[in-house]
Amino acid sequence: MKKYILFFFLIFTILNFNFAEINIGNIVMSYTLSGEFTNTNPYSVFIALPDEYIDVSSTGSLPKPNDGCEEISLQDESSVINNEGNTTTTNTIVYNLETPDEKYITYFNGKAGFWMPPYSTVKVKLRVYNHTKSININVPDENNFRIIGPAVSSSYDEIDLNNIYPDAKKEGILLSNFRLYVYGKINLDGTNTNAVSLIIPAPIVLKDYSQIHVVKSTDTDKKIWINYYDWLNNFKNIKNNRNDEILKKLNEEFGDFNPMVSDDLSISLKRKYFPAVAFTTESVGSSLDFLYVVYGEDKEDKTLNLPTILD
């Protein structure tokens, strides 16, 4: 009888939480997207530019533990002023075109863009400044004692080149050698909390990437940048070992007791590396700079089938 009372008490304790969202700071980042357009057609084509923004509409996610940690949500703080003069939040990211040079930009059929001769390659570079995300922790209201785990974010933004140029392949334009350079700062607000343990993955990447290189220029960088999957494996193994010990003691006391408290998380995914920062406020202070480079994955053959006269 005692084992059933304990089992239902565990369920009640897990379900009887009310959550509040607390803002503890923000991430301010700028990034540069650079790559090459190659015209594989035997004629000139006009490439129209996006109007004034790029759409980071895709969100990626990483596996996370079933329990034992608090949840971080990263929310866009980007804003625009509308025609009435009111400021509203938007998920569209305003960009600055740096390449091609302005002298090559012209208009065709009412759209700004540039001409590409047959079999030519043009370097393209877009830059975004001060893309800001708030860092919020979902904290449960406490009615009893409880172990508090680290605060973990398992989501990140993706830039999908197919969204920027959806008809490239159909129109004979090859996209290649794309890289995303991300540099920014994590700012923590000490007024809401004076001790925080955070695990935050790289906040934005290319959707199809071959590798991510973190620039570790200081001793602090070398200590706090980790592989998210390594942390997840270690967290899962430690927690399951702890649960095994708990179950062993419960079985000794109550007999065959199995409330399914082990973490059945499966991480057999394609990728086994994703960079993340893992730190406490005591170890880095109120702010943390970061810099990393994301290399795009070239899926298509770069070889051009040139006419005989051009070989």
H/E stretch holding 12 = helix 2-15
pTM strictly above 0.75: yes
Q: What is the mean pLDDT of the chain?
A: 76
> CA 63 → CA 52, 177, 202, 255, 262, distances in Å?
34, 29, 14, 34, 16
Surface-to-core class of residue 211, CB atoms within 10 Å of its CB (0-12 exposed, 13-18 middle, 19+ buried) = exposed
Residue 99 confidence (pLDDT) above 60: yes
* Per-residue confidence (pLDDT) for residue 29, from 0 to 100: 93
Tens-digit pLDDT profile for residues 62-89: 988 877 788 898 988 754 434 444 444 4
Structure confidence at residue 92 as a pLDDT band (50, 70, 90): low
List the domain boundaries for the chain.
Answer: 19-230+275-310
* Per-residue confidence (pLDDT) for residue 309, from 0 to 100: 41
Tens-digit pLDDT profile for residues 176-190: 999 999 999 999 876
Residue 117 confidence (pLDDT) above 90: yes
